Structure 1
Amino acid sequence: MTVPALYRGLFDDAALFPPGDLPLPEAVPAHAAHRSAWYAEAVGPFLVGAGRLAELTAVPAGAPQQVALVLPGGSSQLAPALAAADGLTVAGVELADPDVRTAVAALAAQLPAGVEAAVELPRGEGLPAALDVLAGTPYRAKFRTGGLAAGAFPSEAELADFLAGCAERGLPYKCTAGLHHAVRHTDPVTGFEHHGFLNVLLAAAAGPDAKLAAEALAERSGALLAAAARELTDHQVEQVRARFTAFGTCSIAEPLEDLAALGLLTAPAPQEDR
């Protein structure tokens, strides 16, 4: 395979969302190009908010092959969004609700068979209880790892506690926002501390050990992280991706470029005309 197993299906296409905010008539054909490119195995579904569904179905280029509905407005958005998505291939739903029990109940009652779902969990003291509610359900946890303000970025310790808490409960998760680049860094324009998605992958390998996870999240050497990624066994890769299933990124190109720069992903050589 061209794309190593550690990165297959890792990048959900959030081109419509901040800070990218790509216009929908541009985002749809760009997604189609990603899905037909040599790195297509790395690309997940096209993420779309409930308010953009009517616009999406009217795009002349045609709807994406698979979409995931992002519903930040609570469980009351679920039924209308599913109805508005009629005719689209809905691969997943990402639901945020102040009451995780309400979200789980709504998904259990309304989610069509074969459609995956993730519930965005609150940060702060209520997180362990929310993880307990979600554990044992068919749904993933979703955790916000960045945003448009410094406070939207959890610390290494906070994110490590989330990752370890999920591992303790056998709960798979996805992340959203702030993970465009592979390695932890300070943004030179905003000064925000960004987690790296390669850091998160290696932190996921720590399982329920929050201390080891925090150490992996804090590492800023791309060379060290790349070496550690290469040393993962097939079994470890399977475990990591069973835990950390995907993250939303408004750029598909940036994470791929980072992996290539670290020597972790190589584009196939162009075929010569015969």
Structure 2
Amino acid sequence: MSSAPTTPAAAGAAAVPPLFQGLFDDAAVFPPGNLPVAEAVPAHLAHRAAPYADAVGPLLCGAGRLGELAAAADAAGATATDGTGPRLRVGLVLPGGSSELGPALTAAAPFTVAGVELATRDAHEAVAALDLLLPPDVPAAVELPRELLRGDGLEEVLDVLVDSPYRAKFRTGGVVAGAFPDEAELAGFLTGCAQRGLPYKCTAGLHHAVRHTDPATGFEHHGFLNVLLAAAETDPKAAAEILAERSGTVLAEAVRTLTDRQVTVIRNSFTAFGTCSIAEPLDDLAALGLLSPALTPQEDR
């Protein structure tokens, strides 16, 4: 889920380009980052107050950790409802399905709920639950297991979601090699959404801008720049070729040639992705000349 920028750049200061605004949802408490909640809350508040705040989405939290999050937010003064302090913006991640939705919304009362990400094995059932329980001003994304999105399954799920107000969600990585889809599989999802005008978010494995092989694990990681550039494609072969590109120079040049209209189309499709590091993607963009170094975390410079 993406977050509307809340901290405008000061006059004369470098601004986050529209292509990257609200792109990076803060998944610091999830693997492989696994930052303790008590540390993640003040770190997130620091991100939201930094010069690069316009790039940062909400703090993502699983349903089972909302009590822990409330305690940490209260300690940081981020649950105030009387205007005396910031109110933490949270994205609810519900891996247990629709049964978690009602209790999670209740437990999230101390926060501003910026969105819901609901995992399910039945898209129809998930849409019905969201229609029943979700406040109308809260966006949601629906994730199905990748094994159910192969063949005709992908078409069926996307057709269900395109007739709803909800986005799709796709898992692009994890802590095992099998959690990473290859170019053809990811291209099928991206182009299926593009053909329908269906927005989506991604999660896991996209910490870096450019496709690469992790030297420590040997896992093949997609690059978030690859995904951004492939987001407007409706042809699976063309999308797969973009996803396979490993040259940061090539991808950066392609980004620089995007028109304002193309940027709008891309971001209306690919709305956000969860990353356990906010610093890594910003540092990558700065290294490629796509973001001012002033818009990267100070401690990394």
TM-score (norm 2): 0.87
Cα deviation for residue 177 of structure 1 reads: 0.1
- Residue number in structure 1 paired with 2:260: 234
Which letter does structure 1 place at the counterpart of 2:33? G
Contact kept, 8 Å, 2:37 with 2:69, in 1: the verdict is: yes
- Structure 2 counterpart of 1:157: 184
Where in structure 2 are the equivalents of 1:33-182 lying within 5 Å?
Answer: 33-59=46-72, 60-63=75-78, 65-123=88-146, 124-125=150-151, 126-182=153-209
Whole-angstrom CA distance in 2 between matches of 1:159 and 1:227: 23
Asked if the contact 1:136–1:171 (Cα under 8 Å) also holds between the matched residues in 2, the reply is: no
User: Matched residue of 2:293: which SS?
Assistant: coil
Distance 1:82 1:172 in 2: 23
Give the superposition deviation at 1:247: 0.1
1:130-163 deviations in Å (ceiling 9; x for gaps): 1111112110000000001111000000000000
Partners of 2:68 and 2:77 in 1: CA distance: 11
Which residue is 1:252 aligned to?
Answer: 278
Q: Is the contact made by 2:199 and 2:268 (CA closer than 8 Å) also made in structure 1? A: yes
Which deviates more from structure 2 when the two are superposed, residues 124-133 or residues 185-194?
124-133
The corresponding residue for 2:10 is none
- Is the 8 Å Cα contact of residues 38 and 267 (structure 1) preserved in structure 2? no
Q: Alignment partner for residue 228 of structure 2, among 201, 225, 232? A: 201
Report how far residue 58 of structure 1 moved: 0.9
CA shift for structure 1 position 209: 1.2
- Name the % identity: 72
Correspondence for 2:36: 23
- CA–CA distance in 1 between the matches of 2:137 and 2:29? 25
Q: Given that residues 260 and 266 in structure 1 are in contact (C-alpha distance below 8 angstroms), is that contact kept between their aligned partners in structure 2?
A: yes
Q: Distance in 1 between matches of 2:261 and 2:98?
A: 37
State the Cα distance separating 1:61 from its structure 2 match: 1.0
Q: Matched residue of 1:58: which SS?
A: helix
Report SS of the residue matched to 2:201: strand
CA distance in 2, matches of 1:121, 1:215: 25
After TM superposition, the score normalised by the length of structure 1 is: 0.96
* Residue 268 of structure 1: how far off its partner (Å): 3.7
| Match of residue 272 from structure 1 | none
Do the aligned residues in 2 keep the contact of 1:34 with 1:40 (CA within 8 Å)? yes
Unmatched 5+ stretches in structure 2: 1-13, 79-86, 296-301
Amino acid at match of 2:178: G
Query: What is the alpha-carbon root mean square deviation over aligned residues?
Result: 1.1
